Amino acid sequence: MRPATPGAWFWAVWIGTAAVLRGGEPSAPDEPHLARELCRAYRAVETVYCEIRKVTAVEGRTPVRMLSCVTYRRPDRIHVENAAPVRRRIIADGQTLYYYEQGLPRGFSRPISKLDPEWLAMLRTVPGTPMEHLQRLQDLPETRLPAADFPLRALYRATNTVVVLSCDDQKRPVRIEYFASEQMTNRLADCRYGDFRDTGAGCWIPCRHEAVRRLPDGTDATERRFIHNLEVNGPVDPALFDVRGFLPEVEFVDEFRRTYQP
């Protein structure tokens, strides 16, 4: 059976569902908060075009390689074309999100106002950034940690997860770690970022993402993403967000499981 959300966003879905990032009382909006500050900085990004090459692997299995071209425009407009391993398109026009995988009998669509939290978080992540993690931290209570390998470190407590965010001296997010407890001896996931590009808009986009998470059976799943041909705040053709120009014959349904049922 196919998953209820697209494999293209495997890592974001795991963080959003398995980690269940819900904590106690949220911090006040005017308090210093590193994750919230980083999310605010990414609001300066109005448009993005990039190509993403991703390799996902689990110990003992053949790696899965994915190639995507992504065009993004704020607010709530995106066009993702996956060329491998399967062909699929994801288009959002500001009102509705559409998803279609080649070979399926129908596609999935739903008004953006009615999207599940995982889909909405994916749609509103600036491509190439760590926002898929940061936006889940921005409303959690934050505790600043002493400098260690990196000068800026903050801890976030969730229901069953502790998250540590580390930034370098230019306030670039370089590492996000997930632990089972505050003792930080059992690491659940480790996300690292490098090859940062200055967007010219007061924020940085990492062109290399490397993540490892521990599976329940003790094996590791890894994901590596490489961002190529990055263009930020350039002109974007509005026709890219009109689904009729790309999937005119597709029937859309509002339940993902129905896309692959006969």
- Listed in sequence order, the residues at least 6 apart from 229 whose beta carbon sits closer than 8 Å to its beta carbon are 49, 50, 51
Domain count for the chain, please give it.
1
**CATH assignment at residue 126:** 2.50.20.10
121 lies in some domain: yes
What pLDDT sits at residue 73?
Answer: 97
45 lies in some domain: yes
Q: What distance in Å separates the CA atoms of residue 42 and residue 90, rounded to the nearest whole number?
A: 22
What pLDDT sits at residue 27?
Answer: 52
Q: What is the pTM of this model?
A: 0.85
163 lies in some domain: yes
Contact call for residues 150 and 168 (beta carbons, < 8 A): yes
What pLDDT sits at residue 184?
Answer: 87
What pLDDT sits at residue 30?
Answer: 56
What pLDDT sits at residue 34?
Answer: 96
Cis peptide before 3 (omega within 30 of 0): no
Report pLDDT digits (tens) over 72-116.
999 999 999 998 888 999 999 999 999 999 999 999 999 999 999
- Is it the case that residue 205 has pLDDT exceeding 70? yes
C-alpha 79: how far from chain center? 15
The range of the structural domain enclosing residue 199 comes to: 7-259
197 lies in some domain: yes
179 or 261: whose pLDDT is higher?
A: 179
What pLDDT sits at residue 12?
Answer: 40
235 lies in some domain: yes
Model confidence at 14, pLDDT cuts 50, 70, 90, reads very low
Q: What distance in Å separates the CA atoms of residue 240 and residue 73, rounded to the nearest whole number?
A: 10
2 lies in some domain: no
162 lies in some domain: yes
Report pLDDT digits (tens) over 32-87.
899 999 999 999 999 999 999 999 998 888 899 999 999 999 999 999 999 888 89
What pLDDT sits at residue 261?
Answer: 86
181 lies in some domain: yes
Q: What average pLDDT does this structure show over 171-189?
A: 93
Residues pairing with 108 in the sheet: 99, 253
